Structure 1
Amino acid sequence: MDNLQEYDDPVSYDQENDPYTEDIFFLAKWAEMVKGTIIDLACGTGRASIPLAKQGHNLIGVDLHKGMLEQAKRKSENLQIDWFEQDCSRLDLPVKSPFIFMTGNSFQHFLTNEAQDQLLTSVNKHLDNDGVFIFNTRFPAEEEILQSAVEEYWKSYKEDGQNVDVYTVEEYDALNQIQGCTTIRRYEDGNERKTNIRLRYVFPQEMERLINANGFQILHLFGNWKEAPISNDSKEMICVCKKTVK
Structure 2
Amino acid sequence: MEAYGGFAQVYDEFMDNVDYHQWCDYAAKLLAKYGAKDGTLVEIGCGTGTGTMLFHEKGYNMIGIDLSQEMLEIAESKKEEEEIVYVLQDATNLQLPYAVPAMVSIGDSMNYITDYGDFTKVLERVNEYLEDNGVFVFDLKTKKYFSDIGEKTIAEDREDSSFIWENYFDEETNINEYYLSVFVRAEDGRYDKYEEEHFQRGYTLNEVKKAVEKLGLKLEKIYEAFTDNEGTEENDRVYVVVRKN
For the aligned pair, the TM-score class normalised by the smaller chain equals: 0.7 to 0.9
Q: Deviations over 1:182-204 (max 9, x none)?
A: 23457899956543211112111
Q: What stretches of structure 1 of length at least 5 have no aligned partner?
A: none
Q: Deviations over 1:133-188 (max 9, x none)?
A: 111111111x6226443x5336x474xx4474x54322233443211122345789
1:11 equivalenced with 2:9 (yes/no):
yes
Counterpart amino acid of 1:29?
Answer: K
Residue 176 of structure 1 corresponds to 173
Residue 27 of structure 1 corresponds to 27
Residue 123 of structure 1 corresponds to 126
Deviation at 1:90, TM superposition (A): 0.9
Mapping of residues 73-88 of structure 1, within 5 Å: 73-88=76-91
1:56 equivalenced with 2:59 (yes/no):
yes
Q: Deviations over 1:72-128 (max 9, x none)?
A: 111113242111111111112112111101111111122212211211111110101
2:146 pairs with one of 124, 137, 144 = 144
CA distance in 1, matches of 2:113, 2:45: 11
Residue 43 of structure 1 corresponds to 46
CA distance in 2, matches of 1:86, 1:162: 31
Seen in structure 2, the aligned counterparts of structure 1 residues 212 and 232 have a Cα distance that, compared at 3 Å, is closer
Mapping of residues 148-227 of structure 1, within 5 Å: 148-149=150-151, 151-153=152-154, 156=156, 158=158, 161-162=159-160, 164=162, 166-185=163-182, 193-227=194-228
* Percent of aligned pairs sharing the same letter: 20
What is the total number of aligned residue pairs between the two structures? 236
Seen in structure 2, the aligned counterparts of structure 1 residues 233 and 69 have a Cα distance that, compared at 3 Å, is same
Q: Which has the higher helix share?
A: 2
SS state of the match for residue 132, structure 1? strand
Counterpart amino acid of 1:203?
Answer: T
Q: Normalized against structure 2, the TM-score is what?
A: 0.84
1:236 equivalenced with 2:237 (yes/no):
yes
Q: Normalized against structure 1, the TM-score is what?
A: 0.84
Seen in structure 2, the aligned counterparts of structure 1 residues 30 and 224 have a Cα distance that, compared at 3 Å, is closer
Q: What stretches of structure 2 of length at least 5 have no aligned partner?
A: none
Deviation at 1:237, TM superposition (A): 1.8
Deviation at 1:6, TM superposition (A): 3.1
